[in-house]
Amino acid sequence: MTAPVIETRRLRKRFGDKLAVADLSVAVQPGEVFGFLGPNGAGKTTSLKMLLGLIAPTSGGGTLLGRPIGDRAARARVGFLPEHFRFQDWLTGRELLRFHGRLYGLSGHALDEKADALLRRVDLVDAADRAIKGYSKGMTQRVGLAQALLNDPLVVFLDEPTSGLDPLGRLLVRDVIHELKARGTSVFLNSHLLGEVEATCDRVVFVKQGRVVHELALGTEPSGLEVELRVDGARPEVLAAHGTLLASENGHARLRVEREGALPELAAALVHSGARLYSMTPHKRSLEATFLEVMGEDQRPG
């Protein structure tokens, strides 16, 4: 197994009395799209800023691309789009990319070509030579995304990249994340938009009050499927043989099965046992349901 691109060990940040991040220990693998999920104020942005060297941790440590976090050289292969991206808005889109490119050490023809390619990628060619202060929120976010990709990064940090974007803008961000993944780039995605995370991430951790409280691989079906059955004369032992029986009364049953492949077998077994099967509806367990369960009712506003 290759070394993780991001690894933290008991990373902790305290602001006065407030513990913003408590003992964060995570590892992100090369090429992985990693979702960092939690409600507002859970310490997501603070964690990300520590990884980028913008904030010094109170204790603990970690590595970014094999170097201690805060190390300048590692940041040469890192891209970052902050939340509420703000910058020198009197520059044009093209000037902004050139400026940030030079900070990455790019120059001359190579920089111009890279800037042009990225402007095309984020669909800003027509607006490239207009001042950014005249851009819409979506355009601003897109030029911000472009500046995070100037250096062909190995890791990209995106902090709420789609907040405030229209559906087309979200789709573009999602496509870019898929392209990055295809290229082998790791993506560290801070978000509280569950649909976004579900559509893009390989793995998510749930953060609550500065702590990782749950981890979930999204490619698989870790908690299985829930199946709703309308069936007469089903014997409990037949149902139990194919999954965990959650509820059963008056011809309705709820069952949790491990995998989709169990469904035809269950149907066959029920029919074979003499039961009359009217309907069988599998539900994927949504990330939202997991999120609410993990975070608990106390995280709900008001």
Partner 1 sequence: MRAVLTILHLTLHEAARRRILTATLIGAAAFLVLFGVGFHFMARHVHSEVGLSVLRQRLLLNFLTLAGLYATHFLTIMTAVLLPVDTLSGEIATGVVQTVASKPVHRSSIVLGKWLAFSIVAVSYFALVASGVLVVARVIGHFTPPGLAQGLPLMALEAVVFVSLSIAGGARLATVTNGIMAFGLYGIAFIGSWVEQVGALAGNLAAENVGTVASLIMPTEALWQRAAYHMQPTVMRDLHLTPFSPASLPTVATVWWAAAYALIALFLGVQGFRRRAL
Residues facing residue 279 across a β-bridge: 230
Selected binder of partner 1 within 49, 94, 142, 242 (CB under 8 A):
49
Identify the three-state secondary structure at position 105: coil
8 Å CB contact between 139 and 64: no
**Closer to partner 1 by Cβ: residue 56 or 268:** 56
52 scored as a contact of partner 1 (CB under 8 A): yes
Using CB under 8 A as the binding rule, whether residue 133 contacts partner 1 is answered as: no
Angle ∠(114,116,120) on CA atoms, nearest 5: 115
18 is a contact residue toward partner 1 (CB under 8 A): no
The β-bridge relationship of strands 6-15 and 18-24 is antiparallel
Burial class of residue 131 (count of CB atoms within 10 Å of its CB; 0-12, 13-18, 19+) = middle
Q: Which stretch binds partner 1 (CB under 8 A): 49-57, 179-187, 235-243, 253-261?
A: 49-57
What's the min distance (Å) between Cβ of 225 and partner 1?
42
Helix axes 93-103, 137-147, angle to 10 degrees: 30
Asked if 9 contacts 21 with a C-beta cutoff of 8 angstroms, the reply is no
Q: Which stretch binds partner 1 (CB under 8 A): 53-61, 164-172, 174-182, 259-267?
A: 53-61
| Least distance (Å) between residue 230 CB and partner 1 | 55
Task: By CB under 8 A, tell whether 99 contacts partner 1.
Answer: yes
**Burial class (CB within 10 angstroms; exposed 0-12, middle 13-18, buried 19+) of 296:** exposed
Which residue among 105, 108, 167, 219 contacts partner 1 (CB under 8 A)?
A: 105
Torsions phi, psi for 84 (to 5 deg): 45, 60
- Shortest Å distance, C-beta 206 to partner 1: 25
For the bound state, the minimum distance from the C-beta of residue 63 to partner 1, rounded and expressed in Å, comes to 16
Q: Is 1 in the site for partner 1 (CB under 8 A)?
A: no
Contact window for partner 1 (CB under 8 A) among 79-87, 122-130, 191-199, 256-264:
79-87
Of 75-83, 173-181, 207-215, 240-248, the segment contacting partner 1 by CB under 8 A is 75-83
What span, in angstroms and rounded, lies between the C-alpha atoms of 217 and 249? 33
**Distance (Å) of CA 158 to CA 17, 45, 275, 281:** 28, 10, 52, 37
C-beta separation of 217 from 203 below 8 A:
yes
| Token reading at 75 | 């940041």
Find the part of the chain contacting partner 1 (CB under 8 A) among 73-81, 248-256, 273-281, 285-293.
Answer: 73-81
- Is 62 an interacting residue with respect to partner 1 (CB under 8 A)? no
The residue ranges that bind partner 1 (CB under 8 A) are 49, 52-56, 72-76, 78, 80-82, 84-88, 90, 99-100, 102-105, 144, 147
